[in-house]
Structure 1
Amino acid sequence: MDATKGAALIAAAEIGSFTAAARQLGYTQSGITRMVASLESELGFALCIHTKQGVALTENDRRMLPHLREIVRAERVIEESGAEIRGVVSGTLTVGSYYNISAIWIPEVLSTSEKSYPGIDVALKEGGNQEMGQWLNSRAVDLCFCAKPSQGTYCDWKALYEDEIVMWLPEGHPYADAPSYPIRELEHEAFIHTLADHDMDQDRLIREEKLHIEDHYETSNGFTTYNMVEAGLGVSFNQRLINRKWQGRVKEVPFEEPRHISLGIAVPSLAEVSPAAKRFIACIERTSCRALRHWPRAAPDLPACRGHSARSRSLTESCT
């Protein structure tokens, strides 16, 4: 089976449009349509349904997508390995990035990667914990730069940074100048919830602590939440890292019993990681070391920070 046809179908399925898929892959729309039709002919059943809204997937397509991704991935690994043998570093990566990391960490990582490995093209997909788990399980990404995935996510994991979760309180709040905040007080607050029910850090902590919280407001991003707290509309909590470049009259107060979240790299399978992905992971670790000079809680075993080669270490922990 031609992996190019599989890539055409995957792009159309993910974007929901043959026209947009053609633009992304550098083909004409008719070219994409012919490739998908040829693939359907080879398999003996329909994969896509044309609608007014674009392309809808059949159940057959949903079942085939993980296998097609494997074929496309395998061809890419062969091409990258051959290029590496010839002394050329090249490849294409799809990288999932956790919302809270994207604005702070990813720009420097991508900048360093472009300078070090100009032959590696990176496509970025942003999402929350829920999306990261889905992308890893379906192998829609080569790696994720994220919080540690939940149980049931099949991947290998490398911790890079332990970030503290702190309360966001408006000025004048009874605990605004306190040394710590009792977590049970959240049950009596006007809580501002960011991306509720998306397995975000807030959802996880609320679930772990069995807190009974009534959401006063819900937002789709941390920056909106931060500004609503500043306006005195309620309280919230999040990682320290997320607002390190924001300026506002919001008090950060740690919990009485400190809570932390592990941030790092997740890959579907370390044993099958491509040469380009190995280079990019090493780039993430090197870049993290520079950034960690300003951040207080680095994972103690980050290899490049101890003067060792980042590429000589493996991701040693399973997500499951």
Structure 2
Amino acid sequence: MEEVKCRAFLSAVDHGSLTAAAEDLGYTQSGITRIINSLEEEIGFSLFIRSKKGVVLTENGRIMLPVFRDIVRAHNHAAQLSSDIRGAVCGVLTIGSYFSVSSMLLPPILKEFRTLHPGILIHMKEGSNREMTAWLCEKSVDCCFCAKPGTANCDWIPVFQDEIVAWLPQQHPLASADFFPVRDLEHEPFIQTSPDSDTDQDRLLAALQLNPTVSFTTKDAFTTYNMVAAGLGVSFNQRLISENWVGNVAEIPFSPPQYITLGIAVPSLRDASPVTRRLVEYAKKTMRSRFQLSPGKKEAGAP
């Protein structure tokens, strides 16, 4: 089974369109169609349901998806390993990350990494814990920068801990307090970011069995931050997220203190490509030089 056919298949899956896959890989529409048709003839069944809106995987196509990913990954791995032997580091990396981590933490890391390894192309996929767990399970990412995945069978490297703090409007009575009782969240209008997505908010609320009165929901932490600044309610998040944000928001430590461990998840370190292992080691060293992983601190919601 040719790697080029598998790569065309994966591009069509990622874009949901043969036309977009053709543009992505530099083929004509008829060219990508011939490649997919040839692959379907080779394996003996249809991979896609096709319509004017694009393509959707058949059940058999869904079953074959991880197999084709493994074929392309093995091809990339071989190419990267041979380039390492020749002394030229090159390859493609697909990284999953929180929106906050990808915007706040990764840019300087990736800038220096690309300076050291300019031949590496990096694709970013941003999402929630739930989305990254799915990406790790289907092996559509090389690694993820996130909290520990809940259900994915992967290798997890804890890197540093960040404090979770309450976000209060500046006019709030406790805006100047030394701490905010975590259970007081149940007595405030609450602004929740991406509910039911296995976010860090979801995890802490579940761990402490808190049931705040949700007045607003948002998709983005920055929107939540600005809604708190406008006095529409309270919220909470990692201290790192709002490090460079400016607004009328007081960030108050919880009582008892709450922390989250962030790190790097890899589908399999044993099977990871040389480029992936280089990034993991570089990112781990860089982040630990800035932050400290303290084993004495407890995870959010821990008794």
Pairwise TM-score range, normalised by the shorter structure: over 0.9
1:257 positional shift: 1.0
Q: Could you list the runs of 4 or more consecutive aligned residues of structure 1 that deviate by over 4 angstroms after TM superposition?
A: none
Q: Counterparts in 2 of 1:255-266, with a 5 A limit?
A: 255-266=254-265
CA separation in 1, counterparts of 2:30 and 2:100?
A: 39
Task: State the partner residue of 2:5.
Answer: 5
Q: Which amino acid aligns with 1:261?
A: I
**Higher alpha-carbon deviation: 170-179 or 136-145:** 170-179
CA separation in 2, counterparts of 1:213 and 1:51?
A: 44
Task: State the partner residue of 2:293.
Answer: 299
CA separation in 2, counterparts of 1:8 and 1:80?
A: 20
Q: 1:108 touches 1:287 (CA, 8 Å); kept in 2?
A: no
Task: State the partner residue of 2:154.
Answer: 155
1:172 positional shift: 2.0
The DSSP-based 3-state class of the residue aligned with 2:61 is helix
Residues 3-51 of structure 1 deviation map (CA, whole Å, 9 limit, x = unaligned): 1111111110111011211222222222221111111001100001111
Q: 2:92 touches 2:121 (CA, 8 Å); kept in 1?
A: yes
CA separation in 1, counterparts of 2:113 and 2:176?
A: 42
Task: State the partner residue of 1:239.
Answer: 238
Query: Identity rate of aligned residues, in percent?
Result: 50
CA separation in 2, counterparts of 1:277 and 1:26?
A: 26
Residues 98-118 of structure 1 deviation map (CA, whole Å, 9 limit, x = unaligned): 122011111112211221101
Task: State the partner residue of 1:272.
Answer: 271
The unaligned stretches of length 5 or more in structure 2 are 296-303
1:289 positional shift: 4.6
Task: State the partner residue of 1:180.
Answer: 179
CA separation in 2, counterparts of 1:24 and 1:119?
A: 19
Q: 1:81 touches 1:275 (CA, 8 Å); kept in 2?
A: yes
The DSSP-based 3-state class of the residue aligned with 1:272 is coil
The DSSP-based 3-state class of the residue aligned with 2:141 is coil
Q: 1:300 to 1:185 in 2, by over 3 A?
A: closer
Q: CA RMSD in A?
A: 1.3
Q: Which amino acid aligns with 2:5?
A: K
Q: 2:12 touches 2:55 (CA, 8 Å); kept in 1?
A: yes
Task: State the partner residue of 1:122.
Answer: 122
CA separation in 2, counterparts of 1:208 and 1:148?
A: 15
Task: State the partner residue of 2:190.
Answer: 191
CA separation in 2, counterparts of 1:31 and 1:276?
A: 31
The DSSP-based 3-state class of the residue aligned with 1:75 is helix
Q: 2:161 touches 2:294 (CA, 8 Å); kept in 1?
A: no
1:288 positional shift: 2.0
**Higher alpha-carbon deviation: 46-55 or 132-141:** 46-55
**Higher alpha-carbon deviation: 229-238 or 73-82:** 73-82
Residues 127-148 of structure 1 deviation map (CA, whole Å, 9 limit, x = unaligned): 1101110000110101111122
Q: 2:160 touches 2:288 (CA, 8 Å); kept in 1?
A: no
Normalising by structure 1, report the TM-score: 0.89
1:89 positional shift: 0.6
CA separation in 1, counterparts of 2:29 and 2:107?
A: 33
1:281 positional shift: 1.4
Q: Counterparts in 2 of 1:62-77, with a 5 A limit?
A: 62-77=62-77
CA separation in 2, counterparts of 1:285 and 1:29?
A: 42
1:239 positional shift: 0.4
**Higher alpha-carbon deviation: 84-93 or 231-240:** 84-93
Q: Which amino acid aligns with 2:144?
A: C
Task: State the partner residue of 2:301.
Answer: none
Q: 1:98 touches 1:147 (CA, 8 Å); kept in 2?
A: no
The DSSP-based 3-state class of the residue aligned with 1:270 is coil
Q: Counterparts in 2 of 1:14-93, with a 5 A limit?
A: 14-93=14-93
Q: 2:162 touches 2:239 (CA, 8 Å); kept in 1?
A: yes
Residues 206-250 of structure 1 deviation map (CA, whole Å, 9 limit, x = unaligned): 111111122100001011000000000000000000000001110
Residues 70-98 of structure 1 deviation map (CA, whole Å, 9 limit, x = unaligned): 11111111111111111111111111111
Normalising by structure 2, report the TM-score: 0.94
1:66 positional shift: 0.7
